[in-house]
A and B are shown apart, each in its own frame.
Chain A
Amino acid sequence: MSHRYAGISWNPQKRAYDLMVAAGVVLYLVTFLALSSLLHPAATAETLLIRGFGSCAFLLLNVVLCIGPLCRLDSRYLPLLYNRRHLGVTTFLLGMVHGAFSLFQLHTLGDSDPLISLFTANRNYQSLADFPFQPLGFLALLILFLMSATSHDFWLRNLTPRVWKSLHMLVYAAYGLLVAHVTLGLLQSERSPWLVAAMGTSLALVLSLHVAAARKERELDDSTPKAQEENYVKVCAVSEIPEKCAKLVSLRGERVAIFKFDGKISALSNVCRHQNGPLGEGRIIDGCVTCPWHGFQYQPESGAAPEPFTEKVSTFRTKLVDGCVWLDPHPLPPGTYIEPSRIGRS
């Protein structure tokens, strides 16, 4: 949104968020390390650090993955999403400490390059139980690195939001790799059923939240409008749209947000220029459509961000017939001004 990049645009909410994340991480690590050295005096510090940082990163990744679907299901969780990128970067940094320690401990000071050793020390790639699990962790860490390294908005703009989003969807690949990494690694040598249960619970939670959110999304996409005449499709009754909010409609694979405000109706692309956030779940605040994810704003009539910002989204023609909203499904070039349809004049 800024017209000049800053390292991190700090604000009170971000500070509070980061403070909470840092406190949580420190609390986890201190509890684990203190309790482990108390219960297991023979354990080496390296082993405990590797386990502490690795498990913390994995748990945090589970949390990160739950935030998206949780917000789709209940908008009160949106504050978690606002600064999720810092949570992601924290996950990577914890994972990197784990990875660096492990690589040093298990593969350096030997007769081979550590990275070559990582992939060749255990060669039972054809076996499931003996599968080399460490390369899986390495690949997951590489994905988390690419995501963290591109978390600044500079990358969103320069890789384009679509490429950026695809890159960041790789988090699911990383998650899969890490589930395999833990299952084929630690869970093969530890005997406690609690660890298996914890793994199963977190996996089930992440999956069920995603299924629930996807089901909710599908209901929306299935409600494609039927009635059609002269390039316009009938969308909904004006009364169905709450004031200063939008009704979503799915057209040609993308969603359109139809906003009602001050006795007027305007339609915009649902896709925020920032991180493809859902504009239609936003509000009209100070006369501007405000994205629920990071607060990016657009004028409803033109789809253009207020000065000095330059983001623009597509607009759509609307008309009102007998208290119903009709929409021309052809997107106009981003930023095109369209006179809003006035309620009570049709």
Chain B
Amino acid sequence: MLEHAVAFLVRAYYAYTLAGCLFAILFVIRGVQMVDVQARGAGVGFRLLIFPGVIAFWPLLLRRWFEADGEAPAERNAHR
């Protein structure tokens, strides 16, 4: 029982990470400057640094890429 549940989660984790890696390659080359204007013209160092994070947060960035307007998302707090 434990074995099956863990095996399922671990496979899901591998699949998520693999998909993230593939997405991240495209994203740091093409997507990032469409999602965030401040990334336009940014160098290789920046693109490599955000690579691991893109693997982790790829579904979020995929959505932002579709809705890309170059502006950071609005934040809500008591003063904004």
Contact = CB atoms under 8 A, between A and B. Distances in A.
Interface size class of A (residues with CB under 8 A): 35 or more
Interface in A131-170: 145-146, 148-150, 152, 154-155, 157-162
B3 interface: yes
Given A254-B78, A334-B80, A7 B49 contact: yes
Interface of B: 2-3, 6-7, 10, 13, 32, 35-36, 38-46, 48-50, 52-53, 55-57, 60-61, 64, 72-80
A271 B46 contact: no
Given A8-B45, A271-B79, 16 more contacts: A2-B38, A4-B40, A8-B49, A123-B2, A146-B53, A149-B52, A150-B57, A152-B46, A152-B49, A154-B39, A154-B46, A158-B72, A254-B77, A269-B79, A314-B80, A331-B78
A7 B48 contact: yes
Nearest to B78: A254
Contacts of A6: 42-43, 45-46
A157 B38 CA distance: 10
Which label, helix, strand, loop or mixed, suits the secondary structure of the B interface?
helix
B75 to A, nearest CB: 4
Interface of A: 2-8, 113, 115-116, 119-120, 123, 145-146, 148-150, 152, 154-155, 157-162, 252-254, 269, 271, 313-314, 331, 334
Contacts of B55: 149
